[in-house]
Chain A
Amino acid sequence: MRYKYFFIFFLFSICACSDFLEQEPESELLESEVFSDINILESLLNAAYRPLGYEYVGDLTGQDTYCLPFIYADGRSDDILIENYFFGGSKFHDFETLTDLTPSNTQVRAVWFKYFNGLAKTNDLISGLASVNDDVLSTELKEQFVAESRFLRAMYYFELVRNFGDVPLFDGIIDATIEDNLRRKPTSEVYAFMEQDLIFAADVLPVSQTDTKKATKGAAYAQLAKTYLYQSKWQDAANAAQEVIDLGVYQLEENFEDNFKLWNENGIESIFEIHYDESKAWVFDSRQTSSLAAQLSTPSLAAPLGGWNYNLPTPELINAFMNEGDIIRREASIILGGDSLRSELLAAEGLDPLPVDYSEREAQINDPDGGTLYGLGYGYSKKFFLTAEEVTETTGSIQHSPLNQKVLRYGEVLLILAEAVANGASGDGQGAFDQIRERAGLDSKPLSIENIKLERRLELVNESNRFYDLVRWGDADAEIEQFTAGRDELLPIPAIEIELTGQDEAGADLLSQNPGY
């Protein structure tokens, strides 16, 4: 009789059992929610654009890691010195010396993470969109989402291939249990994959989008042209470049420097850019939506332009401008003593125009006794520069630059056409070349491979091209003093990635290392 009381407790607990242990996420989204809501899908697509602009991925790698393109792309070239006197011997500097780059460099791993993270986001979308119902997303819109995703996937693969060479190739969500999926695939295979993505995107995407950050038909053709260019498929490159030109919506900016002005983002010459905003949040990780490039590139002028001058155009690059008499593009690309910085704030400090001996003065401060005259003879990067007024009117801090960065612009498309024609393709290469020269205030030159090489250098400073161009042309060993041929063409595969990917049955690494590392 009294034993019945025992069971009251247990009955209660068992009753609670049915749903008590079933808990669903409250602030996180279920997979089924994501792919059944147009708003969430749109934000997922927006998120897939972001990794292109990642500058810091410590939250993804768990390590202290910057990944700004001017460091790992331009820093390796003969254009830019990556140095800062209180960061001698740092990870930044390894991209400068090249010989110090090792598979354990955390910033190399950051580059790897940056683009593979973007890749995963696009593959996620491409896989997930296939099963989205028409009442969530119309067939047309769905196709456009897929096209944007495939455009971005090609962008990410392009960066991976030109930095790391062969890479694992994923079409859709990765099945990591299949060993072969984890192996690196030949560059040619990856390029072919990128071409398919871009041709599809070029076919589907509209000529213009209201959201200026979004990929367009022109962006897909421009990237396709560049992809062919890197494979020396000259006629294909010329044809794709011509497609961009034939769209008739792009033209060169009258003033070259307007390309890099805050007030002229998404201008008439711009085809695709990385968007940054005025977010003042300083999260120091991949969620950062403003750019750090201005702070790292600007010299330490007066507040609020207290920059860190890591991004130093070399004397060789300055000479290349001087020899060509190229003043317009030099002034838009490099700050030298005597240049106007168009700032009343700086003028009040005696820094506008920049004193002629500014570089010497800086060097003197750092070593009045004539040791290493750090920075002497170097310029300061201009393409990420904001005026003091622009800083105070936007984020108030040079740490948070809202300035977008050009990825593809019409000027480069003309140079791609010119280079393809110089290499034997048919098309109006000379006309394209002349447009570029004329805008730069320079006389026409005959279309030759050598002339094109110089023109790309002067036109595209700090736009992540020079190093890859030199490698592509086979000129890197000759032009870059510290370059070791057979090794420095590519970055090392991060050691930890090789380790985490594991070995095959024979005990060989699934992910092989690049030669020389």
Chain B
Amino acid sequence: MINKKIQAILFCLSFLWLGVNAQSNTVSGKVVDETNLGLPGVNVIIKGTATGTATDLDGNYNLSVPTGQTIIFSFTGYTDQEITISNSGTINIELVPNENILDEIVVTGYGETQNKRLVTTSVQTLDQRVINDRPIARVEQAIQGSAPAVVVIQESGSPGAPQTIRVRGISTAGNAGPLVMVNGVQVPDINFVNSQDIQSINILKDAASSGIYGARGANGVILIETKKGQDGGPQFSLSSYYGTQALATEGEYLNTAEYANYYNESSLYQIRQGESPSGRPIFTEDEIAKLPNTTWIREVSDNASIMDHHLGISGGSDLISYYGSVGYFEQGGIIGNSNFDRKTASLGLNFKPIDKFDLNLFGTYSNTGRKFILENSVNSRVISSVAALPPLFPARDSLGFPFNNGDQTGVSVNGVRLNPQPEFGNPLFTLDYNENKATSDAIYFNAAANYRLTDRIQLSTTAGYMDQSTDSRLFFPRFEIPSANILNLNNTLILNTQDTKFLQWEAFINYNLLKNESQDLGLILGTSLLQNELSSFGFRRENLVENALGDLPSEVDSLEQQSFSAQKNTTQSFFAKANYNLSDKYLFSATVRADGSSKFGPNSKWGIFPSVSAGWLISSEDFLKENNTFNLLKLRASWGVNGNDQIAPYQYISRFLDETTGPQRLDFNEDVKWEEVTQLNFGIDANMLENKIGITLDYYIKDTKDMLLAFPVPGFLGLPAPIRNAASISNKGIEAILLYRDKVGSDFKYEIGLNFGSSTNKVTDLNGGAPIASANLRSFANSPDVSLTDLGHPIASFYGYEFDGVDEIGNSKYVDQNNDGIIDPQNDRTFIGNPFPDFIYGINLRIGYKNFDLSTFASGTQGNDVVNSAVLYSVVYGNRTQAQIEDMWTHENTSGTQPRPSATQVVNNEFSDYFIEDGSYLRLKNITLGYTVSESLRDSWGLSNFRVFLSANNLFTFTNYSGLDPEIGANNDPLNIGVDQGFYPQAKSIIGGININF
């Protein structure tokens, strides 16, 4: 239905622009730098619009401009130039470098671009240089560490694992990810976009900048613009890299001699306490000598390759320009049978049949394949087994099968009897006999048409479509290992498919109401329709004839279907925005947006979300004009409200889940309504000392009220937790960007960038409800929920006992919080850790010397706590880390500060801050050295650019965290933060590559 309506309106619009003629001028010329060399890639844009072009490799451009319009030439690191066009002709421009380093074009959405000087809100721009100057696997990696208060968490080091982005802390317990728009169309994630097809990324952080996105902007907005065709050509760009990845750290687990000693100490401890130890007797020296020393992480890991190839072509004329590309990315996994590949193809076409009208089309297709291992669960049996399994079992038996360390009928190695350990099996079983693969196809298409009705009025419409389907298969083959007493009669396939469709249509008007010497008033009015469909089904089959994942047909008979779910939700919006600029000194902006969501009931469908912002460009005032210290000084303030409807649909309707085991009543809440996030932001932008220094500071308060969450209800109601508007959260923080850029002589340029973000998070209201427990872990006694969301504390704070040293027989003591002489979970647990860092930071250093360029990028977190539960404390005979056996209490060392040895018992495993570690780290994420072949040589080869580079990722990490990787992944649950149950660690890699343009 909606499809047809969109078609109809597009059809109508097509008549609109045919009937009108236009007065415009063709302007062309060449843009050169201070040394008179042509500057490629300079943005040439009509002011106040998204219309424009970029210079070709020699610096030439060609653009149609309506009379009276101003065009802006901008290029990172160079001062913008503005020229008002009165007639056709040649305009050559020389851009002056370094004068105003924060002067950039900022995309703020809905056809609007602004000079960064005049922006009154908190917006961060990442240009192509940041995105493409180092080898990255995914778009999100370009954002990580480049923008303060934007946290990018790789969900794991597994190739192709999703990444989580958090803008300015966590403001909701629901989906806390930002809104992502590609060319103005909402998409569920950005994995399908090849980073090399991206022109720019803009991150809208405060409520006033994201306000025009209304309900959807509460968690920040990421605007991605793809590359567009350039005049002339065709020009080709080829970039390619290849590298090798390796495990960064092996962890510090006990070796066989150390483990045997620890085991013996444990037995001896029990004997001296008059207890009978369970399990085999103590190990003799003889026995230890006979046992292997297996480092499990080495058994499951291997070096792996990584490569990326991208070929782009672009060109065009006045009438039509094009950009096309194909890309192939492949990353092997350093652990087990895991890898990822992505094939992408993109095509962008820009038509300009008449001066007043342009039509921009962009489409991309991506196909990804991902093999993965299960992780971050005690049942995953790879990373968790690596941490927990003692080193004294061999990895494989004499026949090459994985050694069965779990055989309860008895395990012995070289005549030494060992305690069987079925709870964490040999990880090689999982690697040999489990195959998991997910394939995904994504199609994205958008069309945008702009029509300049008059010099002051532009009508625009965009339509977008995205369809992403994923087929995920877990396969456990049938196998038999008679020597190991293993017979697995059934093979099992678990298949899940998911299909997401987004369909969006928008129309808006940019209207310049007033423009004279001192005033500029612009207006945007628009409307938007969005439809999102999601369907998934999952089933499980056993006893398939085929016994390998690769042999299975692509369509598997779904006889044993288990779950099916289909849902649809729609959003309708109207919005208006006004920008007012008085004398380029006083800047104002106001936005209001009305959003209606199908997820809410008749009385709460609509939400109204206003925002305002103001800026004062002090450096333009007369009293500072002559000043030499400040080249730019601007104060900004903004306030606004965003909404959030990121819950499953139909929550307001009384309904039943149609389970195969019978209908299950779902709780409903007729009153469920928009969650609201109110944000206040103050900022300063300053450029100083001939623009060598750039500073941006922001302070914000972000308050969430009526937060939507699954509200825990007593079990006797017999229903799953209903969604309610049940809590309030406050996030406060500061962000800073410091830049210093200078050059020594004419050959040596350098730039140091520092970004810093600090935020605090506090639950301010639970609407009378009980605190919300989350992150249930089997590792600890009684499987506690280790996180608690309670009034006055950060969301999902760690909650447990406070470790108070050891008692006179070496067992853990806990602080008796209520002094009643009994340690009990009702009264003596308390808040013992905060998973959020005090601050996060990123450091960038760029050096250019003649034809060499060097860039390094480091990022880190400080002060976040991590629960390290990769070691399974709830299981007897498990391995330990080096740190855990240092200064243990024993009968010989009664002054020991750590709990006594306990290999033969499960004791001292109540969840306490003993198991919480400092997760701070600083990681050298990347260092890249590039060499660009000199122009004379390039010319003789017929190339316009030729650069080779060598790059290293994750080379060093500074941390005290004892797990495999301090950059632990994120769980899908926003109330499960900072809990490490054994993530796939990130690899370090060395990569070489080339960039060629011709």
Cβ contacts under 8 Å, B469 to chain A? none
Answer whether residue B934 sits at the interface, using C-beta atoms and an 8 A cutoff. Answer: no
Answer whether residue B657 sits at the interface, using C-beta atoms and an 8 A cutoff. Answer: yes
Answer whether residue B824 sits at the interface, using C-beta atoms and an 8 A cutoff. Answer: yes
Cβ contacts under 8 Å, B566 to chain A? 26-27
The 8 Å CB contact of A16, one of B5, B461, B565, B658, is B5
Question: Using a CB-CB cutoff of 8 Å, which residues 168-208 of chain A contact chain B?
Answer: 168, 170, 174, 176, 182
Question: Using a CB-CB cutoff of 8 Å, which residues 208-234 of chain B contact chain A?
Answer: none
User: Are A12 and B507 within 8 A (Cβ)?
Assistant: yes
Q: B-facing mask of A275-291, CB < 8 A → 1, else 0?
A: 00000111100110100
Q: A-facing mask of B964-980, CB < 8 A → 1, else 0?
A: 00000000000000000
User: Are A28 and B650 within 8 A (Cβ)?
Assistant: yes
Instruction: For the complex, give the distance between the alpha carbons of A124 and B719 in Å.
Output: 11
Cβ contacts under 8 Å, A119 to chain B? 716, 718
User: Are A8 and B562 within 8 A (Cβ)?
Assistant: no
Q: What is the interface size of chain A, counting residues whose CB is below 8 A from a CB of the partner?
A: 101
User: Are B279 and A182 within 8 A (Cβ)?
Assistant: no
Cβ contacts under 8 Å, A410 to chain B? none
A167: nearest chain-B partner, CB-CB: B716
User: Are A23 and B277 within 8 A (Cβ)?
Assistant: no
Answer whether residue A106 sits at the interface, using C-beta atoms and an 8 A cutoff. Answer: yes
Interface-located stretch among A130-138, A459-467, A494-502: A494-502
Instruction: For the complex, give the distance between the alpha carbons of A511 and B657 in Å.
Output: 29
Q: Please give the distance in Å from A63's CB to the nearest CB on chain B.
A: 5
Cβ contacts under 8 Å, A502 to chain B? 768, 770
The 8 Å CB contact of B657, one of A28, A282, A286, A496, is A28
Q: B-facing mask of A301-334, CB < 8 A → 1, else 0?
A: 1111010000000000000000000000000000
User: Are A121 and B776 within 8 A (Cβ)?
Assistant: no
A17-B572, A61-B715, A371-B277 as given contacts; A86 in contact with B876, CB under 8 Å: yes
Question: Using a CB-CB cutoff of 8 Å, which residues 566-582 of chain B contact chain A?
Answer: 566-572, 574
A28-B655, A28-B657, A102-B824 as given contacts; A367 in contact with B716, CB under 8 Å: no
Instruction: For the complex, give the distance between the alpha carbons of A163 and B81 in Å.
Output: 81
Answer whether residue B905 sits at the interface, using C-beta atoms and an 8 A cutoff. Answer: yes
Instruction: For the complex, give the distance between the alpha carbons of A119 and B768 in Å.
Output: 27
A13: nearest chain-B partner, CB-CB: B527
Q: A-facing mask of B428-458, CB < 8 A → 1, else 0?
A: 0000000000000000000000000110010
Answer whether residue A374 sits at the interface, using C-beta atoms and an 8 A cutoff. Answer: yes
User: Are B653 and A24 within 8 A (Cβ)?
Assistant: yes
A63-B783, A497-B714 as given contacts; A8 in contact with B12, CB under 8 Å: yes
User: Are B661 and A182 within 8 A (Cβ)?
Assistant: no
Q: B-facing mask of A134-153, CB < 8 A → 1, else 0?
A: 00000000000000000000
Answer whether residue A29 sits at the interface, using C-beta atoms and an 8 A cutoff. Answer: yes
Instruction: For the complex, give the distance between the alpha carbons of A8 and B526 in Å.
Output: 11
Interface-located stretch among A41-49, A232-240, A249-257, A468-476: A41-49
Q: A-facing mask of B75-97, CB < 8 A → 1, else 0?
A: 00000000000000000000000
User: Are B714 and A501 within 8 A (Cβ)?
Assistant: yes
Q: B-facing mask of A60-102, CB < 8 A → 1, else 0?
A: 1111110000000000000000000111111100000000001
Answer whether residue A20 sits at the interface, using C-beta atoms and an 8 A cutoff. Answer: yes
Answer whether residue B471 sits at the interface, using C-beta atoms and an 8 A cutoff. Answer: no
User: Are B716 and A497 within 8 A (Cβ)?
Assistant: yes
The 8 Å CB contact of B716, one of A16, A116, A121, A368, is A116
Interface-located stretch among B49-57, B414-422, B545-553, B883-891: B414-422
User: Are A22 and B598 within 8 A (Cβ)?
Assistant: yes
The total of Cβ contacts below 8 Å across the A-B interface reads 282
User: Are B490 and A280 within 8 A (Cβ)?
Assistant: yes
Instruction: For the complex, give the distance between the alpha carbons of A327 and B635 in Å.
Output: 92
Instruction: For the complex, give the distance between the alpha carbons of A389 and B574 in Å.
Output: 68
Answer whether residue A263 sits at the interface, using C-beta atoms and an 8 A cutoff. Answer: no
Answer whether residue B58 sits at the interface, using C-beta atoms and an 8 A cutoff. Answer: no
Of the listed residues A86, A106, A395, the one surrounded by the most CB atoms of chain B closer than 10 A to its CB is A86
User: Are B770 and A499 within 8 A (Cβ)?
Assistant: yes
Q: Please give the distance in Å from B182's CB to the nearest CB on chain A.
A: 22
A5-B453, A21-B596 as given contacts; A396 in contact with B489, CB under 8 Å: yes
Cβ contacts under 8 Å, A87 to chain B? 874-876, 906
Q: B-facing mask of A467-505, CB < 8 A → 1, else 0?
A: 000000000000000000000000000111101111000
User: Are B715 and A27 within 8 A (Cβ)?
Assistant: no
Instruction: For the complex, give the distance between the alpha carbons of A286 and B657 in Å.
Output: 14
Cβ contacts under 8 Å, A61 to chain B? 715
A6-B509, A27-B658, A28-B657 as given contacts; A44 in contact with B714, CB under 8 Å: no
Instruction: Kindly state the interface size class of chain B when it binds its partner.
Output: 35 or more
Instruction: For the complex, give the distance between the alpha carbons of A511 and B714 in Å.
Output: 10
Cβ contacts under 8 Å, B507 to chain A? 9, 12-13
Q: Please give the distance in Å from B801's CB to the nearest CB on chain A.
A: 12
A90-B874, A182-B714 as given contacts; A16 in contact with B529, CB under 8 Å: yes
Answer whether residue A31 sits at the interface, using C-beta atoms and an 8 A cutoff. Answer: yes
Answer whether residue A165 sits at the interface, using C-beta atoms and an 8 A cutoff. Answer: no
Answer whether residue B34 sits at the interface, using C-beta atoms and an 8 A cutoff. Answer: no
Q: B-facing mask of A367-399, CB < 8 A → 1, else 0?
A: 111111010000000000000000010011100
Answer whether residue A347 sits at the interface, using C-beta atoms and an 8 A cutoff. Answer: no
User: Are A89 and B905 within 8 A (Cβ)?
Assistant: yes
B829: nearest chain-A partner, CB-CB: A104
Answer whether residue A366 sits at the interface, using C-beta atoms and an 8 A cutoff. Answer: yes
Cβ contacts under 8 Å, A392 to chain B? 489
User: Are A31 and B654 within 8 A (Cβ)?
Assistant: yes
Q: Please give the distance in Å from A38's CB to the nearest CB on chain B.
A: 13
Cβ contacts under 8 Å, B560 to chain A? 281
User: Are A104 and B409 within 8 A (Cβ)?
Assistant: no
User: Are B529 and A116 within 8 A (Cβ)?
Assistant: no
Answer whether residue B281 sits at the interface, using C-beta atoms and an 8 A cutoff. Answer: yes
Answer whether residue A50 sits at the interface, using C-beta atoms and an 8 A cutoff. Answer: yes
Cβ contacts under 8 Å, B513 to chain A? none
Cβ contacts under 8 Å, A2 to chain B? 453-454, 457
Answer whether residue B410 sits at the interface, using C-beta atoms and an 8 A cutoff. Answer: yes
Answer whether residue A447 sits at the interface, using C-beta atoms and an 8 A cutoff. Answer: no
Answer whether residue B666 sits at the interface, using C-beta atoms and an 8 A cutoff. Answer: yes
The 8 Å CB contact of A86, one of B422, B486, B656, B907, is B422
Answer whether residue A356 sits at the interface, using C-beta atoms and an 8 A cutoff. Answer: no
B654: nearest chain-A partner, CB-CB: A31
Cβ contacts under 8 Å, A260 to chain B? none
User: Are B661 and A50 within 8 A (Cβ)?
Assistant: yes
A17-B572, A26-B568 as given contacts; A5 in contact with B16, CB under 8 Å: yes
User: Are A120 and B278 within 8 A (Cβ)?
Assistant: no
User: Are A23 and B718 within 8 A (Cβ)?
Assistant: no
Answer whether residue A103 sits at the interface, using C-beta atoms and an 8 A cutoff. Answer: yes
Q: Please give the distance in Å from A279's CB to the nearest CB on chain B.
A: 8
Cβ contacts under 8 Å, A16 to chain B? 2, 5, 529, 572
Q: Please give the distance in Å from A147's CB to the nearest CB on chain B.
A: 18
A345: nearest chain-B partner, CB-CB: B487
Cβ contacts under 8 Å, B529 to chain A? 13, 16, 20
A12-B5, A287-B661 as given contacts; A28 in contact with B666, CB under 8 Å: yes
Q: Please give the distance in Å from A311's CB to the nearest CB on chain B.
A: 15
Answer whether residue B785 sits at the interface, using C-beta atoms and an 8 A cutoff. Answer: yes
B562: nearest chain-A partner, CB-CB: A281
Cβ contacts under 8 Å, A34 to chain B? 656, 663
User: Are A25 and B567 within 8 A (Cβ)?
Assistant: yes
User: Are B409 and A497 within 8 A (Cβ)?
Assistant: no
Answer whether residue A112 sits at the interface, using C-beta atoms and an 8 A cutoff. Answer: yes
User: Are A88 and B876 within 8 A (Cβ)?
Assistant: yes
With A282-B540, A289-B661 already in contact, 18 other A-B pairs whose C-beta atoms are closer than 8 Å: A5-B16, A5-B453, A6-B525, A10-B527, A28-B650, A29-B656, A29-B658, A31-B654, A64-B776, A86-B422, A88-B905, A89-B905, A124-B665, A371-B276, A495-B826, A497-B714, A500-B770, A501-B716
- What are 21 A-to-B residue pairs whose CB atoms are below 8 Å? A9-B526, A16-B2, A16-B5, A23-B598, A25-B653, A89-B905, A90-B874, A91-B783, A105-B782, A116-B716, A116-B718, A120-B665, A120-B716, A302-B485, A367-B281, A368-B280, A371-B277, A371-B281, A396-B543, A397-B489, A500-B770
Q: Which 3 A-B pairs have the closest CB atoms?
A: A120-B718, A47-B662, A369-B281
